[in-house]
Amino acid sequence: MQLPGRMIALLSLGALAAIIGVAVVSGQSDDGVLTAAPAVTPEQGSPPSTVATTNQASSTVPAVPVTTEPPVTTEPAVDLPDRGLHPPLRDIDGWLQSDVTSLEELRGQVVAVQFWTFGCSNCKATLSHMQDLYAKYHDQGLEIVGVHSPEFSYEAEVDNIVEAAADLGVTWPIALDPTKHSFHDWQEGPRGFWPRIYLVDRNGHIRYDHRGEGRYDEIDAAVGILLDEPAT
Amino acid sequence: MIAAIIGPFAEAVRATVQPCTFLMIVPTATAVIAASARWQALVAAVAAAIVGGWILADNEFLLDGAALRWSAVVVALALVALLLPLLRERVPIPTQLMGRPWTQAAIVAFVVLVATQWWRPCVGRELGNVLSDAQFDLVGQLLPMAFYMLGVMVPIAALVALRYLVEPAERWQAALSGVAGTVGVVIALFLVAGRHESVTVTLTRWTLG
């Protein structure tokens, strides 16, 4: 009776070791099959969130999909329903690397608002994409605002944020949100997530939202579309 | 379809060595080991983790502040209950029921369910996709979220498999259960004291040296 039990345990352990090995190896490359499949392909059309997001749009401003034709390039299709005017940034304790002191001053520009904290590994993983985005689109009217909402007390120290921003290559404006009031005001539900990116159009309306890493092609495409839209 | 479940599973396996997962996985491990790492405890832990993951994805509920502290009190008591069978020869308490595998599994399930609500997960690209889409299509994300939680539970499954492989002597098993349960109780008491941050940082240091 014991031998089969041990064999099953041994086989289970071997299988689990293999699973861990495959998972680790698959994570070595961002281009891995398991992790880097585009979130949305032209064949798939809009992601589930797109359709449903339309249902979530502000009742005062009708949702208007910006792109209705399938793209001719490999860039993902992306709909950008209007989710209404962005909430204000509340209880901001100062801005770093910025001449502006509110999002309202950036009206007329497309703004990527990213909630992050420098100790968060997933936030750091998005920064190379944010840098690419900034380099590609800043001159065309994109501004990035990194709202720094610390998870731990050491992440709330301004000196540590300044040092981390320099080390991580964060050159865009940083709004300090030590109380996390803005972090929770912007994110529906009781649980907020790091990182989280919102794209705000030239009129100050939220048009795109994503939690966590990834969907970089989709974000790029969305920024391009929003930059092509005129302010109204 | 396959990518939609394999991706979250693989990302979760990798996340088990990241500090943000420790506050979920360490209490889970202590509870399962305190329950003698039986397969019944593993089944209960996995089921509870999946349900806990769905609650997390739904994002309508959060254990925070006073609720977090009270939940930690109950978890500490639950872990003590798991340790009662170890004291059956010394303490005149009705331990027969507490020693039954499925009774212990039920207690483990409760601990794991609570631990998933203490958890602040690392939001990688796969979990990010699940959470982003769950805002609007929760039902559609239940399967990938379940596979994410299965991935998180892989080290726990490995612990249980190891236990059946090694089959430690009863006194060693009892010692392991006692130590694990005590560690779990200490973690819970830290949370009761409002030291959520200290627990996370300490777990990080233990694991990363």
What is the pLDDT, as a whole number, of residue B209?
Answer: 42
Q: Which residues contact A170 (CB under 8 A, 6 or more apart)?
A: A97, A127, A130, A146, A164
Residue B130, pLDDT above cutoff 70 = yes
Residue B103, pLDDT above cutoff 50 = yes
User: Does B91 or A72 have the greater pLDDT score?
Assistant: B91
pLDDT tens for A64-75 read 344 444 444 555
pLDDT tens for B16-32 read 988 888 889 999 999 99
Q: Which is it for the CA torsion A117, A121, A127, A129, positive or negative?
A: negative
Q: Which residues of A128-152 are buried (b: 16+ CB within 10 A; e: fewer)?
A: ebbbebbeebeeebbbbbbbbbbbe
Average pLDDT over residues B69-76: 95
| Stretch (H or E) spanning A114 | strand A110-116
Cβ-based contacts of A191 with chain B (< 8 Å): 56, 59, 62
The identity of residue B71, as a single letter, is S
Average pLDDT over residues B178-185: 95
Average pLDDT over residues A11-18: 74
pLDDT tens for A178-220 read 999 999 999 988 989 999 999 999 999 999 999 999 999 999 9
| Cross-chain residue pair A55–B136, CB shorter than 8 Å | yes
What is the pLDDT, as a whole number, of residue B96?
Answer: 63
Q: Which residues of A64-102 are buried (b: 16+ CB within 10 A; e: fewer)?
A: eebeeeeeeeebbbbbbbbbbebeebeebeebbebeeee
For A158-162, the CB contacts below 8 A with 24+ separation are: A158/A94, A158/A96, A160/A118, A161/A96, A161/A118, A162/A96
User: What is the complex's ipTM, to 2 decimals?
Assistant: 0.84
Residue A47, pLDDT above cutoff 60 = no
**Residue B133 Cα, gap to closest chain A Cα (Å):** 5
pLDDT tens for B146-162 read 999 999 999 999 999 99
Instruction: Kindly state the tokens that stand for B151.
Output: 């991935």
Average pLDDT over residues B192-204: 77
Determine the residue of chain B that is closest to A32 in CA distance: B7
Residues 122-181 of A with CB under 8 A from B: 122, 125, 151-153
- The span from the CA of A177 to the CA of A198, in Å, is 16
Q: Tell which residue, A26, A228, A223, has the closest CA to residue A113.
A: A223
| Cross-chain residue pair B10–A23, CB shorter than 8 Å | yes
Q: How far, in whole angstroms, is CA A75 from its chain's centroid?
A: 18
Share of chain B above pLDDT 70, in %: 92
Average pLDDT over residues B198-208: 67
Question: Does B197 contact chain A (CB < 8 Å)?
Answer: yes
Cβ-based contacts of B6 with chain A (< 8 Å): 34
Average pLDDT over residues A128-157: 95
What is the pLDDT, as a whole number, of residue A26?
Answer: 61
Chain B interface disruption, residue of A6, A20, A25, most B CBs within 10 A: A20
Cross-strand pairs, A175: A95, A147
Question: Does B143 contact chain A (CB < 8 Å)?
Answer: no
Q: Is A27 exposed, middle or buried (0-12, 13-18, 19+ CB in 10 A)?
A: middle
Residue A30 banded pLDDT, cuts 50, 70, 90: very low
Residue A152 banded pLDDT, cuts 50, 70, 90: confident
Average pLDDT over residues A23-46: 40
Helix, strand or coil, per DSSP, at residue A205:
strand
**Residue B32 Cα, gap to closest chain A Cα (Å):** 16
- The span from the CA of B96 to the CA of B89, in Å, is 11
What is the pLDDT, as a whole number, of residue A2?
Answer: 52
Cβ-based contacts of A36 with chain B (< 8 Å): 125
User: Does A221 or A64 have the greater pLDDT score?
Assistant: A221
What's chain B's average pLDDT?
89
Question: Does A37 contact chain B (CB < 8 Å)?
Answer: yes
Q: Are the C-beta atoms of B180 and B33 separated by less than 8 Å? A: yes
Instruction: Kindly state the tokens that stand for A162.
Output: 């300044």
Please tell me which of the candidates A8, A36, A48 has its beta carbon nearest to residue B136.
A48
